[in-house]
Amino acid sequence: MTTGPGDFTERAGDQAYHVRPYRPPVNLLWWLRRRTYLFFVLRELSCLAVAWAVLFLMLLVRAVSEGGDVYAHFVTWARMPWIVVLNVVAFAFLMLHAITWFNLTPAATVVRLRGQRVPPAVIAGSAYAGWVVVSALVAWIVLRQ
């Protein structure tokens, strides 16, 4: 007998039965059927933008550490239209990731203060405030002359 994922063995008395639960067939394009499904898949795909960002940052770090010429060469490379387009798309996905992530913070974090539950809006608000502070700090460190 062939076995598939999700199969299990059920025992009744001293008999063992091989059980294969019925799973209705799902179309490979199930995520196109509803807007919420599509949104879910887009949110999950934001992980590719995260991976690209890490790669891009490492190329940047290497270029900066190797000196002015290599850094100038990196900037010229990053100016190529397809890299700019890639970064525009990546930035949009990173924003999608950040916004959906911070919106979920109140669901994942329950904070109690003097026995009272801190309202979800306050937790989400703090997350967004933290985001603004970190972004401003990064921009200041990179751009101050």
Residues that bind another protein (CB under 8 A): 4-6, 26, 28, 31, 41, 44-51, 53-54, 56-58, 60-62, 64-65, 67-68, 71-72, 75, 78-79, 83-84, 87-88, 90-91, 94-95, 97-98, 101-102, 108, 130-131, 134-135, 138-139, 141-145
CA dihedral angle for residue 5, residue 7, residue 8, residue 9, rounded to 10 degrees: -130
- Write down the least CB distance from residue 17 to another protein, Å: 22
Nearer to another protein, 12 or 132 (CB): 132
Nearer to another protein, 12 or 26 (CB): 26
Nearer to another protein, 15 or 65 (CB): 65
CA atoms of 53 and 74, how far apart (whole Å) = 15
* 105 burial via Cβ count (<10 Å: 0-12, 13-18, 19+): middle
Nearer to another protein, 122 or 136 (CB): 136
CA atoms of 4 and 21, how far apart (whole Å) = 10
106: left (phi over 0), alpha (psi -120 to 50) or beta: alpha
CA atoms of 21 and 30, how far apart (whole Å) = 21
- Write down the least CB distance from residue 34 to another protein, Å: 14
